């Protein structure tokens, strides 16, 4: 029997390659995350925000030679698009991709709460997302991507990542979403302040098929972290595994050198890379166990590697080559990690059709 067509695809192109695609090709795009220094987005006006695919710029510089990398999610079926508030989206019969940019503005004075501007922006953004998913009947979030300015900075007496975590969980609870157990894969990274109002940038991929939330036996679940890591625990799973047709898709959350709940190998980027890959391998083993098949391994993932210090990139890549092989697929970005003692974070995807053009590879 001929296998079912892949429902969801991820393509990686440079910005110029993306912008140069035909209108018919762009009509198949659910949405895109593009990473580059803001000065390299002179061609962004090629995308009409009202009629084009949901497209969002993340101001993070690529540090492995490419000018820009766009992760483009595509569908092989007819698409519908729209906008609700700040959220722009496209969807097919099975999946929805949405993007939004939320400026950090204080809560209204009439609101008798102590929310910081980032906490308020986060709760508002997530409430809008959940409202749309409920309205359009895409109840299951497969993956969140979150990017904010100065993630390790402090204001209003609280680290900014913890402000984000508070706002996210407030929205989860207000919208009747679980905060323990069946929570989506996610990442939260910091970019260098470079945009007006330093907005919170969020992308979401949701669907109508319930994913399996995958945890890592080497780590405490993030939603059970003790109070030393902030007033609320983060609301994400280590990975999401979902079946679409005959395809199994795995979304691995931002993963770092944490065992149990503690950071290991402070100031040693090579050891942190090795520990991070051991955690990813443990997640793959658990995903394979739950699926009942050896579907995933380190060599068939597409990696996004967030690096705190640009000078560490070559050491990280060399350690990844030793663990994975020379031909691993990855893009390396300069970013701040949620804990100040973490030097890198790696996220990954697998199981769908990956095509690479203008994206980084493992070998120099």
Nearest Cα neighbor of 84 from 136, 139, 143 is 136
Distance in angstroms (rounded) separating the CA atoms of residues 278 and 332: 19
pLDDT of amino acid 49: 46
Q: Which residues contact 206 (CB under 8 A, 6 or more apart)?
A: 95, 96, 98, 133, 138, 139, 140, 141, 142
Catalytic residue among 104, 286, 345, 347: 345
pLDDT at 36: 87
- Give the number of C-alpha atoms closer than 13 A to the C-alpha of residue 147, restricted to the C-beta side: 26
Q: Which two tokens stand for residue 137?
A: 């009947």
Please give the Cα distance from 335 to 337 (Å, whole number): 6
What is the predicted pLDDT for the residue at 143? 97
Domains of the chain: 8-356 (3.30.1330.40)
Render each residue's pLDDT in the chain as its tens digit; 364 residues.
333 445 788 888 888 888 889 999 999 999 999 998 766 654 444 444 446 899 998 999 999 766 678 999 999 899 999 999 999 999 999 999 999 999 998 777 655 468 999 999 999 999 999 999 999 999 999 999 999 999 999 999 999 999 999 999 999 999 999 999 999 999 999 998 656 678 999 999 999 999 999 999 999 999 999 999 999 999 999 999 999 877 889 999 999 999 999 999 999 999 999 999 999 999 999 999 999 989 999 999 999 999 999 999 999 999 999 999 998 999 999 999 999 999 999 999 998 444 433 345 554 4
Q: In whole angstroms, how far apart are CA 19 and each of 45, 50, 72, 199? A: 10, 16, 12, 24
Pairing of strands 8-13, 353-356: parallel
At residue 64, the pLDDT reads 79
Q: 201, 101 in Cβ contact below 8 A?
A: yes
347 given a catalytic annotation: no
d(CA 171, CA 128): 9
Residue with tokens 């097919």: 92
Compute the distance between CA of residue 78 and CA of residue 208 in angstroms, rounded to an integer: 16
């Amino acid at each position: 029997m001929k296998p079912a067509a892949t429902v969801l695809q991820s393509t990686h192109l440079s910005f110029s390659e993306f912008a140069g695609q035909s209108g018919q090709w762009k009509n198949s795009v659910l949405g895109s995350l593009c990473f580059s220094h803001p000065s390299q987005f002179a061609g962004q006006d090629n995308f009409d925000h009202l009629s084009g695919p949901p497209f969002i710029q993340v101001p993070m510089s690529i540090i492995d030679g490419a000018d820009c990398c766009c992760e483009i999610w595509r569908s092989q079926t007819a698409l519908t698009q729209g906008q609700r508030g700040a959220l722009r989206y496209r969807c097919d019969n099975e999946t929805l991709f949405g993007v939004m940019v939320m400026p950090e503005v204080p809560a209204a004075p009439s609101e008798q709460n102590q929310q910081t501007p980032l906490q308020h922006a986060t709760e508002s953004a997530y409430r809008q997302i959940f409202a749309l998913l409920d309205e359009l009947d895409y109840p299951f979030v497969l993956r969140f991507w979150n990017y904010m300015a100065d993630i390790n900075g402090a204001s209003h007496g609280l680290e900014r990542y913890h402000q984000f975590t508070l706002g996210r969980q407030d929205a989860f609870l207000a919208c009747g979403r679980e905060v323990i157990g069946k929570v989506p894969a996610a990442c939260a990274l910091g970019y260098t302040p470079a945009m007006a109002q330093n907005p919170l940038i969020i992308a979401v991929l949701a669907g109508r098929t319930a994913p399996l939330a995958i945890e890592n036996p080497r780590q405490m679940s993030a939603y059970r972290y003790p109070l030393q890591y902030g007033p609320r625990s983060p609301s994400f799973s280590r990975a999401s595994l979902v079946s679409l047709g005959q395809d199994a898709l795995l979304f691995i959350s931002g993963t770092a050198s944490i065992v149990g709940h503690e950071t290991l190998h402070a100031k040693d980027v090579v050891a942190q890379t090795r520990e991070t890959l051991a955690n990813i391998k443990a997640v793959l083993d658990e995903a394979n166990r739950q699926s009942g098949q050896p579907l995933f391994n380190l060599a068939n993932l597409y990696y996004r590697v967030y690096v705190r210090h640009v000078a560490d990139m070559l050491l990280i890549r060399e350690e990844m080559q030793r663990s994975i092989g020379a031909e691993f697929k990855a893009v390396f970005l300069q970013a701040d990690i949620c804990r100040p003692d973490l030097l890198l974070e790696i996220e990954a995807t697998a199981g769908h059709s990956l095509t690479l053009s203008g994206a980084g590879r493992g070998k120099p």
